[in-house]
Amino acid sequence: MRYGKWIVPRAGYEPPSELLDAGFSPLLAAALARRGLDSAAEARAFIDAGPASLLPAEGLRDMDRAAARLRLAIERGETVAVYGDYDVDGITSACLVTSYLRGRGVRCLPYIPDRIGEGYGLNSAAIDSIRARGATLLITVDCGITAAAEARHARETGLDLIITDHHECGGELPEALAVVDPKRPGCDYPNKGLAGVGVAFKLLCAVDGDAEALLGRYADLVAAGTVADVMPLTGENRYIVRRGLEQLERSPRPGVAALLNECGGLNRRINATTVGFTIAPRLNAAGRLGSASLAARLLLSADEAEAAPLARELCRLNRERQELEHGIYEQAHEYLAAHPPAGPIVLASEGWHQGVIGIAASRLAEEFRLPCVMICLDGDMGKGSCRSYGGFNLYDALTACAGTLEGFGGHALAAGLTIKRSRVDEFRAALGEYYRSRPAPDEPALVCDVRIDDPDWLSMSCVEELELLEPYGAGNAKPTVCLVDALLERVTPIGGGSHLKLRLAKGGAEFDCVMFGVRESELGAHEGERVDAAFYPQINEFRGRRSVQLLMTDLRRTDTLAECEAILGGALPPAWDSAELMPERRDFVRVWRWLERAGGRVRGDIASLAAWGPQGLRPAGTLLCLRAMAEAGIAGIERAGSELSVYAKKREGKADLEASPVMAALRARRDQFMDRRRKHD
């Protein structure tokens, strides 16, 4: 089970009648309603998002000045430089503007900084190089909003500067001819979720005047950058990405076609997942390993013969990136297995590659359920990548520890830092102290959008219609669908045991499922047991045969009412051979705080525990904690029929929860299970 807390809709839900009367299937109608689209008109507007979704580029502050200066450069035949970033958003932004200007006969110099040697953002040495090559106008894309000193340097060298960016603004806006950023103060542009490539596209719209024609030529680049940078796929972003995906599928530019051909994706359906997990990682690999200009050359290539070797090299770099990341992860994981962390993970090494530690940090944060900081040491200094977990605000934490750092930046979920080697231990201690002083972060909850009580909702036609919600991404996630109390008929390991094929049965229907990244020993359920399944239903095509397949998100054993009744009655259900619900200290803390937040007492129906229990615990886990707390004298449980009343009790002295009878019984059950497993192994 990947999620400790599931939020499941109540049984018997009926989608809005207006949506059903309009011809939407129950599955799609329920998913639309979950997005707040209760009327047929709202639903159609969302599904059919078209050209009317595009907002006027002139609504961006300073856009008039930026467009006027760029038009002048085109008319004069000036040399224009485009300064991007080494990620997919920055690379596609630079290629978009470069391709457009070259198409207008302009000499254009794309510049992608080296991640390792130059770092992120505009730098003065690059400005000098660009000026020396004859450029009179410099346009930044996906960067520049905090480059106040560099903007002054550009002015001193005689280089006109237009900044286009989408990141948060610092205290001082750069002194440039124009600063175009939907997040800058005083900008009323409604779509604050434009990617960097989206802002660059708006600049071209303002210069050219025909947004639809530009989309016909460049929607693929705008879509790739928007998806890769995890921008919300709503409003005009949704329309742009939809157009771009169609272009990527039907008539990809030579560089993209070569890349898809190299990784087996050519002539297949292209969706946002293809961009996020096939195209973007290979373009990003170039930037991570210091070869971002290679990705730009590929996207700008107009010749298939030139593009093919570039695509092969990008795929090779991606494999190298995967190997580097896997090696770092394995090294860190081996250390953490021997030294289990009690607080935020802070690791440092000289042998790690700065370009890939962020990916390893994300994996470790998820696995150990703790914030993770990984630092590459070089001489007396170190550069680190930070990833959060469970709602812990990294930016606030780094701010509190700023005295131990040379610098930092980022946001709540991901950040970067610079630190002296001599202060790593001090930083680790300061971050741990800050973490322990905060309320225990809630475990991420799995929110199920649609509950299936009628298997007909998962018919071929219903699942096909669900695809009308695409493209999926930030702000428009795939709906999570769930089956409650289904029979797990079959478990079949695939992919060398790293993945699973499952067969579920519910209400006379059977469903084939696939679950990636989970081994049979990690499933937490066995053939023949009742389970709850969370998934996304999709159409699987294999050898010309189409069928409904459930792409599993998570699976858990069903906490039946009978099992909950057994706990309240003083027994443990015999099915719990592994005692996997044995409470930990943090579970008791969650239950106690849950009671405190409710004023010391909670009342409710036994069957509704999943809805009102503390986050991070299954219903049976909540009841086990309460039973142990009641046996230790710090909680009370009163029952009248199916109604429960649980409350906190005052007690002098420290309660020994581990000595409670239920904990002793669970320990014995666990020991028996482990003995059987050792004998089996």
Looking at the chain, the whole-number percentage of residues with pLDDT higher than 70 is 94
pLDDT band at 146 (very low <50, low <70, confident <90, very high): confident
Give yes or no for residue 681 having a pLDDT over 50. no
Q: By C-alpha distance, which of 261, 258, 318 is closest to 287?
A: 318
Between 530 and 307, the more confident residue is: 307
Lowest mean pLDDT among 1-10, 32-41, 573-582: 573-582
Distance of CA 341 to the CA centre of its chain: 24
Give yes or no for residue 485 having a pLDDT over 90. no
Mean pLDDT for the chain overall: 89
Q: What is the mean pLDDT of residues 412-438?
A: 92
What's the pLDDT at 668?
A: 82
Number of H helices, E strands in the chain: 24, 21
pTM (two decimals)? 0.78
Between 651 and 18, the more confident residue is: 18
pLDDT band at 12 (very low <50, low <70, confident <90, very high): confident
* Model pLDDT for residues 240-256, shown as the tens digit of each residue: 999 999 999 999 999 99
Give yes or no for residue 386 having a pLDDT over 80. yes
Give yes or no for residue 442 having a pLDDT over 70. no
Between 617 and 399, the more confident residue is: 399
What's the pLDDT at 678?
A: 57
Domain spanning 340-437: which CATH class is it, in words? alpha beta
* Model pLDDT for residues 511-522, shown as the tens digit of each residue: 999 999 888 988
Lowest mean pLDDT among 167-171, 472-476, 504-508: 167-171
Say if residues 610 and 6 touch (Cβ distance below 8 Å): yes
Lowest mean pLDDT among 111-115, 215-219, 467-471, 617-621: 617-621
pLDDT band at 474 (very low <50, low <70, confident <90, very high): confident
Q: What is the mean pLDDT of residues 130-159?
A: 95
What's the pLDDT at 443?
A: 66
Angle made by CA atoms 353, 278, 537, in degrees to the nearest 5: 125
What's the pLDDT at 411?
A: 74
Which residue has tokens 């978009």? 96
Distance of CA 565 to the CA centre of its chain: 38
Q: Which CATH number fits domain 56-315: 3.90.1640.30, 3.20.20.70, 3.50.50.60, 1.10.290.10?
A: 3.90.1640.30
Domain spanning 5-47+448-557: which CATH class is it, in words? mainly beta
Q: Which CATH architecture has domain 561-680?
A: Orthogonal Bundle (1.10)
Q: Give me the DSSP letters along 103-168.
A: HTT-EEEEE---TTTT-SS--HHHHHHHHHTT-SEEEEES--TT-HHHHHHHHHTT-EEEEE--SP
What's the pLDDT at 505?
A: 95
Q: By C-alpha distance, which of 266, 355, 347 is closest to 311?
A: 266
Which phi and psi (to 5°) does residue 446 adopt?
Answer: -90, 115
Mean pLDDT is highest, among 116-120, 432-436, 473-477, for: 432-436
Task: Put the strands of the sheet holding 178-180 in their side by side order.
Answer: 107-111, 79-83, 137-141, 160-164, 178-180
Between 557 and 68, the more confident residue is: 68
Token digits of residue 300:
């700008």
Which residue has tokens 């858990």? 556
Say if residues 415 and 394 touch (Cβ distance below 8 Å): yes
How many CA atoms are closer than 13 Å to the CA of 29, on its beta-carbon side?
18
Q: By C-alpha distance, which of 182, 276, 293 is closest to 229?
A: 276
Q: What is the mean pLDDT of residues 37-55?
A: 92
Lowest mean pLDDT among 86-90, 93-97, 560-564: 560-564
Give yes or no for residue 43 having a pLDDT over 50. yes
Q: Give me the DSSP letters along 389-431.
A: -TT--HHHHHHHTGGG-SEEEE-SSEEEEEEEGGGHHHHHHHH
What's the pLDDT at 60?
A: 98
Helix 304-338 and helix 280-288: axis angle, to 10°? Answer: 70
* Model pLDDT for residues 536-555, shown as the tens digit of each residue: 999 998 877 899 999 999 99
Q: Give the torsion sign (CA, 573, 579, 585, 587).
A: negative
Token digits of residue 169:
């603004």
Q: Please tell me the distance from the alpha carbon of residue 374 to that of residue 357, in angstroms, as a whole number.
A: 6
What's the pLDDT at 525?
A: 86
Q: Please tell me the distance from the alpha carbon of residue 539 to that of residue 506, in angstroms, as a whole number.
A: 19
* Model pLDDT for residues 201-243, shown as the tens digit of each residue: 999 999 999 999 999 999 999 999 999 988 999 999 999 999 9
Q: Measure Cα distances from 374 to 193, 328, 356 in Å.
A: 29, 10, 10
Mean pLDDT is highest, among 27-31, 323-327, 641-645, for: 27-31
Q: Give domain limits for the chain.
A: 5-47+448-557, 56-315, 340-437, 561-680
Lowest mean pLDDT among 59-68, 97-106, 320-329, 564-573: 564-573
Q: By C-alpha distance, which of 362, 337, 333, 345 is closest to 431?
A: 345
What's the pLDDT at 680?
A: 46
The contacts of residue 137 (CB under 8 Å, 6+ apart) are 69, 70, 73, 78, 79, 80, 81, 159, 160, 161, 162
What's the pLDDT at 579?
A: 47
Between 145 and 572, the more confident residue is: 145
Distance of CA 265 to the CA centre of its chain: 23
Q: By C-alpha distance, which of 497, 494, 487 is closest to 532?
A: 487
Q: Please tell me the distance from the alpha carbon of residue 650 to that of residue 163, in angstroms, as a whole number.
A: 62
Element (H, E) at 347: strand 345-349
Instruction: Tell me whether residue 585 is exposed, middle or buried, using C-beta atoms within 10 angstroms of its C-beta: 0 to 12, 13 to 18, 19 or more.
Output: exposed
Say if residues 120 and 143 touch (Cβ distance below 8 Å): yes
Give yes or no for residue 457 having a pLDDT over 50. yes
